[in-house]
Amino acid sequence: MGPLRPSDVDFMPGLLRSLAVLLRLRGKVVSPQFLMSGLTGNKVTPQACLRAARKAGLSGRIVFRPELDEIPSLVLPCILLLTHDRSCVVTYIRDGKAEVVFPETSEAAQTVQLEDLKQDYSGYALFAAVEAAPDDRAERLSIAHGKRWFWDVLRYYAPIYRHVALASVVINLIAVGSPLFVMNVYDRVVPNNAIETLWVLAIGIIIIYMFNFLLSSLRTHFVDVAGRNADIVLSSSLVEKVLSMRMDAKPESTGALVNNLREFEQLREFFSSSSLLACIDLPFLVIFLLLTGFIGGPVVFLPLAAMPLMLGLGLLLQQRSRRSAEASYKQNMQKNALLVEIVGGLETLKSCMAESRMQKLWESVVGLSAQSNSEARKYNNLAVTVSMLITQLVTVAMIVWGVYRISEGLMTMGALIGCNILVGRTMAPLLQMASLLTRLQNSHVTLKALDMLMLLPSENQVEKTCMDFGMLRPSFTMENVSFAYPHQERLALDRVSLRIEPGERVGIIGPMGSGKSTLSKLLIGLYQPKEGAVKFGDVDIRQIPSTDLRGRIGVLPQDVVLFYGSIRDNIALGDPTINDHLILRAAALAGVTDFLRNNPAGFAAQVGEQGKALSGGQRQAVALARALVRDPEVLLLDEPTSNMDTDSELMLQKRLFSVMQDRTVVLVTHRLSMLRIVERLIVMENGQIKMDGPRDAVLQSLRDRSKQSVAAARHEHGAGARAAAGNA
């Protein structure tokens, strides 16, 4: 890893700088920007540092070692957490001395006395080692790669589920006490009027019930804790996947993607509810059946005969339920996709008076969805109803058979009542099992859909092995680049080649659909070219971590998106810890301070959802401030003044002149007035570069071509008029 750049030091907390040094010592080369990406909160905590380490391929943990002498040499180098939120990297400890790197001052190692280091040592250290993992060859042979994200998390909480299983063993053994208590009361206490025995039995069973209550509460608590923790980890994994997925792999429908994430709740509920407890209780049916046979003899064959009936019913309905569940899932995806479109385009629908059309379309989609959901519920309700009928028939048959056996002296009254209780306990999990299979099928459909999401390619799949190239020249090169958007046959860029030198100010113009914005998206790595290569600083951008590349470029996209929160939050979107003076500087350059001057809330003013509380020009100004706030070496501006008036545009041009010195600037625009801030002009048409050269020369060529077109049109019109007159 090369030395940290000054821009990295400004924004990179000390603990992450220590981690960057540790990674270099461990042979892992990643960029500082890569470590910072994806971290939450306004402060880098040791736990966040562990998350960054895992992202870089290190497995680590924070341990309490009050004495530095207790740190074994095998775990060195490691990070020591010092007082006052400082940290350092220690490489060896020997003979009362330690070799230490203090990244906040220098990356050079220095030797210090152990006693001096102890004065600042907090007692906590971060140990991290390279995570042993199979290489790509093994990954390609893994057939279960997609499902590991889910099962690995559940496996991590296996110790908690083992406690749940142990509690279930005791609870089910305790359940045997109820029928034995009832049987003894009816057979021994009542005939002999043994009141003292009654109280002994009653006190004993009450103690057992209290113990059962305690264990049941603990079991429910354990399941809830495991489910809650797994929910947090799995939900974070899903959202992290969405944030890191490549743009060309993003599903076409936002509503369908949201539906997939929402359906995760159904999957989570299955593993943290009574359904899981019912599955755990199933093996203990054997105990109740054995006890029923011991007490009641051949009456045990009644529940034994009912079990395959109920199981067969569940399996039969499961096949039909699978088709219904898949159809219901697809219809719900369609419904959510349409709902997102309606809510997002509400102003357009009202302006075009298209409410009735959307209402009709919504009712059609909801009707199909309701039909699919109804069919899925039908099989679930049928399973529950038939299972209840079988349970009731078993109970009646047992009582009738038991009465005959009592009359023959083969069974007592207490034994019959005890068997009835045991059969109820035996049939209860089976009764849940019928509907459980249907819920299991729904969960399987959800898991399959989420597996497809988790298998989508991510931007950071290869970034763990990317180099940190340090200081790169802020230049762009495109070599014979062709690109088409997903599911589109037409090329948006067709064999485009260009080079933009450091410090060069380049304007890109062209008609609609000529590929201007597409070119800018490829320059920052949002999309990968179908053919050719895009380079930054003469390095293929596929070799540079995406966070490192975009950390060097200030981007103003064509479609400005603001997020719910304050204006300050949106300017500092990429780094909430950024200094306020940098925010004020960027806001002044972009013109944000102009419209905030009379706002009492100032930078705390709320922008609303998608910035709807601001005008189009104000949203553009906030987005421009966001692009300028990090003082980047490259500015990529796509239609920066499309929503601004003439005065605001002129003011912005003057401000941009002051920050463009020694910076590479790429300006995409339709406004010719903005071209006065560029030196070179590129004209695009049909995804190809038609002209490229000095601004004034290209503009003159465009004027000459326009004059020639007008003259040709007039000549053609005149010839046509003369021909018409001659014919007349």
User: Which residue ranges make up each domain of the chain?
Assistant: 6-133, 144-454
Q: Which residues contact 275 (CB under 8 A, 6 or more apart)?
A: 269, 432, 436, 439, 440
Q: What is the predicted pLDDT for the residue at 728?
A: 54
Nearest Cα neighbor of 419 from 295, 308, 558 is: 295
Backbone angles phi, psi at 579, to 5 degrees: -65, 145
Prediction pTM value: 0.72
Give mean pLDDT, residues 125-142: 59
What band does 114 get if pLDDT is binned at 50, 70 and 90? confident
Structure tokens at 4: 């940290």
| E strand or H helix at 311 | helix 301-344
Mean pLDDT score across all residues of the chain? 81
What is the per-residue pLDDT across 390-427, written as a single tens digit (0 to 9) for each? 888 998 998 899 898 888 888 888 888 888 888 888 88
Q: Which two tokens stand for residue 179?
A: 């029928």
Sheet holding 110-113, edge to edge: 58-64, 121-130, 78-82, 87-94, 97-101, 110-113
What distance in Å separates the CA atoms of residue 362 and residue 353, rounded to the nearest whole number? 16
Quote the pLDDT of residue 426: 84
Record: fold of 6-133: Cathepsin B; Chain A (3.90.70)
Alpha-carbon distance 611 to 615, whole Å?
A: 8
Question: Measured between alpha carbons, how far is residue 545 from residues 229, 458, 550, 551 in Å?
Answer: 31, 12, 9, 10
Which pLDDT score, from 0 to 100, does residue 241 have? 83
* CB 634 within 8 Å of CB 663: yes
Long-range contacts of 96-102 (CB under 8 A, 24+ apart): 98/68, 101/18, 101/21
pLDDT band at 508 (very low <50, low <70, confident <90, very high): very high
pLDDT value for 256:
72
Give the highest mean pLDDT range of 8-12, 456-460, 711-715, 722-726: 456-460
The DSSP element (H or E) to which 110 belongs, if any, is strand 110-113
Q: What is the pLDDT of residues 659-692, one digit of tens each?
A: 787 889 999 998 888 888 899 999 999 999 999 9
Q: Which helix (H) or strand (E) holds 196?
A: helix 195-244
Q: What CATH topology corresponds to 144-454?
A: ABC transporter transmembrane region fold (1.20.1560)
Q: With 0-12 CB in 10 A as exposed, 13-18 as middle and 19+ as buried, what is 475?
A: middle
Are 48 and 40 spatial neighbours (Cβ–Cβ below 8 Å)? Answer: yes
**67-71, 492-496, 702-706: range with highest mean pLDDT:** 492-496
- Alpha-carbon dihedral sign for residues 43, 45, 51, 52: positive
Estimate the share of the chain in helix, then strand, then coil, as percent rounded to the nearest 5.
Answer: 60, 15, 25
CA dihedral 53, 150, 373, 377 (to 10 degrees): -140
Highest mean pLDDT among 56-65, 128-137, 559-568: 559-568
